[in-house]
Amino acid sequence: MMKDNNSAFEIEKGWLVGVHRKKSPYFTARSLADKVSLLVIHNISLPAGCFATSYIDDLFLGKLDYRADLSFNDLVGVKVSAHCLIRRTGEIIQYVSFNNKAWHAGVSSFKGRKNCNDFSIGIELEGTDSLPYTNLQYQQLLTLTHCLQKTYPAIIKDHIVGHCHIAPSRKTDPGESFDWQYFHQCLQ
């Protein structure tokens, strides 16, 4: 199910109302000290450059058939999740409650603070570093970001980053195809 692009999202008990939920086993409870103050934007496609497959769901749910594609050999034993995925169609799927830590950032640091999973929300965009994202993805990301900022006011504009910003030696996403200028302009 996808919310109308003009309507705001609501969060109840850490879950977006009206979006598809697929609960990942890959999360950790947040402690009271884990105040959410960071939004991390990622990209993902499985196999790389292929869209509208079930493989992202399968990865986040721990059900990926590693024999389905040779590139999946690199994912054997990987336990990873995100709070949400925004598909190219604008559909949002939530895997982990915002009240919990999704396993999206890995070894990471933001403004000297390590372990970004502890204090962040991770949003995956179905895409690659080099292919433009869709207008529907930007619209949904903007609506979702506004909702998250309302619920977690410590997520200020300067605390919305790409995976590349918190793990620069390991990650490049959301890549040069993500239009940060457009995103920040629309976010105001």
- Does a structural domain hold residue 145? yes
Supply the CATH number for residue 52's domain.
Answer: 3.40.80.10
- Does a structural domain hold residue 152? yes
- Domain hosting residue 179, numbered range: 16-187
CA-based end-to-end distance of the chain: 27
> Is the pTM for the entire model greater than 0.85?
yes
- Does a structural domain hold residue 93? yes
| Banded pLDDT at 3 (limits 50, 70, 90) | very low
pLDDT tens digits for range 54-108: 999 999 999 999 999 999 999 999 999 999 999 999 999 999 999 999 999 999 9
Active centre residues (catalytic): 124
Check residue 7 and give its pLDDT.
56
Radius of gyration of the CA atoms of the chain, in A? 15
pLDDT tens digits for range 148-175: 999 999 999 999 999 999 999 999 999 9
Whether residue 2 is predicted with pLDDT greater than 80 in this model: the reply is no
| Banded pLDDT at 5 (limits 50, 70, 90) | very low
- Does a structural domain hold residue 6? no
Question: How buried is 173 (Cβ within 10 angstroms: 0-12 exposed, 13-18 middle, 19+ buried)?
Answer: buried
**Bond preceding residue 153 cis, omega within 30 of 0:** no
What domain count does the chain have? 1
Q: What angle do CA 17, 19, 20 make, to 5 degrees?
A: 130
pLDDT above 70: percentage of residues in the chain: 96
Q: Where are the beta strands (DSSP E) in 63-152?
A: 84-86, 92-94, 100-102, 109-110, 113-114, 120-126
